[in-house]
Amino acid sequence: MGTVGTGVARLLVEQQQRVAQRAGCRVELARVVVRDRTRPREVLLPAGVVTDDLSAVTQDREIRVVAHLVGGLEPARSIMLRLLEAGKDVVTANKALLAEHGPELFDRARELGRSIAFDAAVAGGIPIVTNIAQCLAANQILSLHGILNGTSNFILTQMEEQQTAYEEALREAQRRGYAEADPSLDVNGTDAAQKLAILAQLAFGARVPWQQVAREGIDQVTLADIRFAHELGYRIRLIAQGRLSASGLELRVAPMLVRMGGPMADVRDAYNAISVVGDAVGRIFYHGLGAGQMPTASAVVADMIDMVVGRMPITFRTLKLWDQPDGAQALCPPEHQYRRFYMRLDVVDRPGVLAEIAGVLGRHTISIASVIQHEQQGDGPVVPLVIMTHRASERNMERALVEIRRLAVVQSPGVCLRVLE
């Protein structure tokens, strides 16, 4: 009965007729398991349903479907296993749990003839799981990318629109309740990487531990970069991207330059968005609220209805998620990952600097698409130099960066961001 649980209870109690109509039968909220039974609740629950004892659920044979809205890994994992073992179908919103223990939990569910649904675990109110697993089933997904972490997106929007520094934007996110007291999992890309690992399983059949998703957070993004990107016609967004090529699957979470004028650049505040390319359907784009009480509850209750009505057990049985052996889908090595790069360096303001840097890039077969170097504003010896490259491999870029950072004329490690394609 946290934020999402309260929303789920509200829909089940206050919209009982609606849920019954769409589930084809009456759906009764039988039990609500909480830590503290005495705490007041925002929703009026039927008498006697609140308990602090999980066995009130596991031992009740009338209960068929359980919304598992427990965060973190433990006791969330044990609770889900107990529920499955008690014969319950489980709907969860816990992406960390699935990204970490998906193979174990799904295997166990299959052994027990039970189902797990998890549309709320990725992109909140956007039903991306059902869309990929069912609506786009005629397609091979070729690529997908999205803004999957609302906290990061809120911070980047604040920085861009209010011209506030990262730390201040983060505090504002915390004030508004978007960011946790410890926001590190959001801003360092872990949350988005866990969601991407789940989508990669669905879309590409890739059994990739989320720790293997290449991952950078937004904490390295400065106001200066946001302004330079703007000048070049881009916004900076934390993008989770998966794409298939002949060399394998590339999975990455990183702040990227997103071209203005496209839909992804217009995703503001705590919204989420996902763009999927299927070989038959072409590109399809989804935008909606990725978090929050009622949007997430919308996804949880849709999954509960799908369980009750019988669609979800079919989907779960057919999808065989995390059922393939490890390594069924090869990861693309960095030398075959091609894209454009944005680089901001603090360089000494003197002749020949650009030639030196361009020389290093050229030796790594990286060609320059555009350069910004403004006239010096203050009177220091150092100026920012911004370079946008043409397509280059991750490997070449990485090697060139090492050399560039060693140059005497380069005064700080600088920033290197990717450009979304």
In the bound state with a copy of itself, the residue whose beta carbon lies nearer, of 224 and 281, is 281
With beta carbons less than 8 A apart as the criterion, state whether 339 and 220 touch.
no
Give the shortest CB-319-to-a copy of itself separation in angstroms. 8
Separation between Cα atoms, residue 194 and residue 187, nearest integer Å: 13
Separation between Cα atoms, residue 233 and residue 388, nearest integer Å: 12
Separation between Cα atoms, residue 202 and residue 116, nearest integer Å: 14
Give the shortest CB-244-to-a copy of itself separation in angstroms. 14
With beta carbons less than 8 A apart as the criterion, state whether 282 and 262 touch.
no
In the bound state with a copy of itself, the residue whose beta carbon lies nearer, of 28 and 85, is 28
Give the shortest CB-31-to-a copy of itself separation in angstroms. 19
DSSP 181: S
Residue 233's alpha-carbon distances to 42, 156, 259, 333, 342, in angstroms, are 46, 16, 6, 30, 12
In the bound state with a copy of itself, the residue whose beta carbon lies nearer, of 310 and 413, is 310
Nearest of 88, 55, 127 to residue 303 by alpha carbon: 127
Catalytic residue among 88, 95, 195, 320: 195
Structure tokens at 169: 């934007």
Element of type H or E holding 302: helix 293-309
With beta carbons less than 8 A apart as the criterion, state whether 385 and 355 touch.
no
- Measured from the Cβ of residue 73, the count of other Cβ atoms closer than 10 Å reads 14
Give the shortest CB-146-to-a copy of itself separation in angstroms. 13
In the bound state with a copy of itself, the residue whose beta carbon lies nearer, of 138 and 181, is 138
In the bound state with a copy of itself, the residue whose beta carbon lies nearer, of 103 and 288, is 288
**Known catalytic residue: 88?**
no
The residues of the shown chain that bind a copy of itself, judged by CB under 8 A, are 7, 11, 15, 18-19, 22-24, 119, 125-127, 130-131, 134-140, 261, 263, 266, 278-289, 292, 294-295, 297-302, 305-306, 309-311, 314-315, 317-318
List the catalytic residues.
Answer: 195
